[in-house]
Amino acid sequence: MSRRVLLPFFALLAIAVLVPCFVGGGTRSGNGRALRAPRQATTSQSVALVQVTKENTIATAGVLGGVTGLLLGGFWIGAAGFVATSYLAKKEDDDVSTVLKGVSSASLEALNFVDYLNQKYEVSGKVGAALSGALDSTEGETSSSVKSTLGTVNGAIDSFDKDIGIRETLGGLVLAGSDLANQLATKVVELNKEYKVTDQLKSKIDEAVASSKS
């Protein structure tokens, strides 16, 4: 499969893995739109896997930019993409910012819709039940070994998350990284305006091109 085909998949996968860590599910607030259906008929408020707020949209734009750069050009391009999109997404009344936040918001809503369908049709539960049924119907040492391994892994993950709080920790790092990336890009822009770095580079390049032609 080509990178163009894989790119949207990995971008959405990155959102699915990272974004819920720092936004979490919760009752819909005044500034967030919730797409998941209510879990109880007695409540009038709905719960979204990811609340589509301004902060979450900006953070997701940085994640998307980083994943896109990583897939297209490697680590450094990914880092540059994360910094650039985190900076551009925070600009107000800017066409590029509007587009980035629109794509980010649409990605979050798509993720919420997928989660809503999973909740409605219990896809994950049915897959898990099918796996358990297959293991139960398979007698022998292999089946017992797989069950034991799955139980050990699940227990280790639950224990680690309980002790470390990896979801909150990872989420905090992503949000902090987005803020730092924005500050870094802002400082670079300020320094460029002060010292005319790009103008000097362009001048040197023009001189080198002219020299090579002569």
What phi, psi does 164 have (nearest 5°)? -95, -30
Structural tokens at position 46: 């709905």
- Closest by CA to 14, choosing from 174, 187, 207, is 174
What are the tens digits of pLDDT across the range 193-207? 888 888 888 888 988
Query: Mean per-residue pLDDT for 164-168?
Result: 66
Tell me what pLDDT residue 114 has: 83
Ranges of beta strands (E only) in 99-204 are none
Structural tokens at position 154: 């699940």
Residue 39 pLDDT grade (very low, low, confident, very high; cuts 50, 70, 90): very low
Q: Are 97 and 91 in contact (CB under 8 A)?
A: yes
Cα–Cα distance, 50 to 22 (Å, whole number) = 9
Residues in the chain: 214
More confident residue, 147 or 59: 59
Structural tokens at position 24: 């979490």
User: Considering Cα of 56, then 58, then 59, then 65, what sign does the dihedral take?
Assistant: positive
Cα–Cα distance, 54 to 89 (Å, whole number) = 10
Tell me what pLDDT residue 193 has: 85
Of 22-26, 34-38, 130-134, the range with the lowest mean pLDDT is 34-38
Confidence check: pLDDT of 109 > 80: yes
Tell me what pLDDT residue 83 has: 92
Ranges of beta strands (E only) in the chain are 26-27, 47-48
Query: Mean per-residue pLDDT for 98-102?
Result: 91
Cα–Cα distance, 60 to 101 (Å, whole number) = 9
Q: Are 147 and 131 in contact (CB under 8 A)?
A: no
Tell me what pLDDT residue 41 has: 39
Residue 85 pLDDT grade (very low, low, confident, very high; cuts 50, 70, 90): very high
The answer to whether the predicted template modeling score (pTM) of the entire model surpasses 0.85 is no
